Each structure stands twice: as structure tokens, then as C-alpha cells.
Amino acid sequence: MSEDVPESHPRHTSLVTRERIVEGVKRGLTSHAGLVAQGRGETFDYLLGERTIESAARAERAAAALMLGADHPVISVNGNVAALVPRAVGDLARATDADVEVNLFHRTEKRIERIAAHLRDNGVDKVKGLAGDATVPGLDHDRARVDADGIAAADVVLVPLEDGDRAAALAKTGKSEIVVDLNPLSRSAEAATVPVIDNVVRAIPAMTAHARSLAGRSDVELQGIAERVDADAAREYAERAIRSGDLR
């Protein structure tokens, strides 16, 4: 259990995060494939020095501005996100007036309901994703199933964690996408309007803090902040940081 990891341990944060995913599998929130995805992300985070790099910090502020200026922002949640940052998702949803929708590759109705209940238990007021009454064009698996009044109707979608084919498919529908992904070379990051190359456990709270500080800004101001991030430059900065990082 995460509470058994002493704070003095040099890998404390990483181990606690890992334990949250393991617990998510035990509770039926996260698929076994989610364990592999977590390990892959942890590798990139280690290469980044387990810190929020400068380009990611700028992207997190831009992401918050983009969500605040949206007509219908939606936060997409999979099993890993539900296990790692359920309460932080609720905080961000309230700060940006966004919907929260469960969307899974390994989808079962029981798992959808478990994740929705877990999110509600952690302060998410309303959870979409159970209806699955619309589809994302161009996808041939269960991630294509979305709610008609959720992701299907959104103008801005936050996609935490690597989700390449759906990220590309959503981009083709004309939606703006914020992607949180530790791999700057992933298809998800490449499809993003705003790529946030950071760990989701740091990125979501940071975006919430920015959203609160930007509350009340005009739409013109918010648009200007969102447009200051160059997606290609953000990915290139992160790649350079990974390739030249001083591992500790």
C-alpha cells in the first residue's frame, strides 16, 4: 500500500504512484494493460528528472486558458487516470466548468460503473460515459463509444495519458485537444493542440491552479494565452530535455 512507502525513500513519489495503479487493478478500475502503460510513462518521467519542465509549465497554463475559453470542455478519464488523480480531476472540472467522461479501450459496463462510482466518491459531481450513445468516426474499438452530450459535443477535450488513435480521430473532427503524455514522440502528443509533456499527477493540479488564477479573464485574453504555446516547439523542447537529461 502507498502509505507503507516512507517519505524518506528517494523514489517515494514514483513508488506511491505505482501503488495507486496496482490498487486500481485490484479494485477493477485499471486494466492489466494499464500496468504496462504506467511503466512506460514512468520511464519517460525518470528521463525528464521527475519534474515539470519549462515548456510543460507553459503548456499547462495554456491548457487551462483553452478550457476556460471553451463552450463545452470535457475531461476524458480512463482507468489509470481514475486510479491516479480522481480528486484532482474533480477539482479541474469545477475550476473550468468541464464535464468528466469515462472512456475506455478495455470497456465493460461493470468497469465503467466502477470508475464512475470511484470518481463520484472522490468529489466528481457528475460523470458521463455510461450512455455511450455516440461514436467517434474512424475508430473500430470501444474507445469510439462516447456520450452524445459529452465528448461528441465537446469543442475542447482533455485527453490525459497516451491514446494515439483516438487523439488523432478526435483531432480530425475539429476539436481542440489537450494531451497529457510523458512521451513527446507519441501519436497523442503529435495530435494535440496543446501537448503537455508532464506526469498527470503534476499536470492536472497545475492546470487547476492556473484555471483558478485565470478566472475572470476575457475570452480574448484566454485565447491569447492558449495560442502562445507552439505545439511543435513544446514537443521538441521535451525531447531535448529527455536526450540531454542529467540522470540522478
Q: What is the per-residue DSSP string for 205-248? A: HHHHHHHHHHTT--HHHHHHHHHT--HHHHHHHHHHHHHH----
Cell numbers standing for residue 46: 525518470
Model pLDDT, residue 8:
61
The pLDDT value given to residue 37: 81
Amino acid at 168: A
Choose between 199 and 39: higher pLDDT: 199
- The C-alpha cell that represents 68 in the structure block: 476556460
Judged against a pLDDT cut of 60, whether residue 135 lies above it is answered with: yes
Helix (H, G, I), strand (E, B) or coil at 78: coil
Cross-strand partners of 178:
158, 194
pLDDT at 128: 97
pLDDT of 166 strictly over 90: no
Taking alpha carbons only, the member of 131, 109, 130 closest to residue 120 is 130
Domain boundaries, given as residue ranges, for the chain:
54-244
Query: Which pLDDT score, from 0 to 100, does residue 116 have?
Result: 96
The pLDDT value recorded for residue 227 is 95
Average pLDDT, integer, range 137-156: 91
Kindly state the average pLDDT of the residues 198-210: 97
Question: Quick check: 2 pLDDT over 60?
Answer: no
**CATH dotted code for 54-244:** 3.40.50.12640
Stronger pLDDT, 14 or 198, i.e. the higher one: 198
- Predicted local confidence at residue 141, as pLDDT: 80
pLDDT at 139: 85
pLDDT 10s digits, 207-229: 999 999 999 999 999 999 999 99
The grid cell for 10 is 528517494
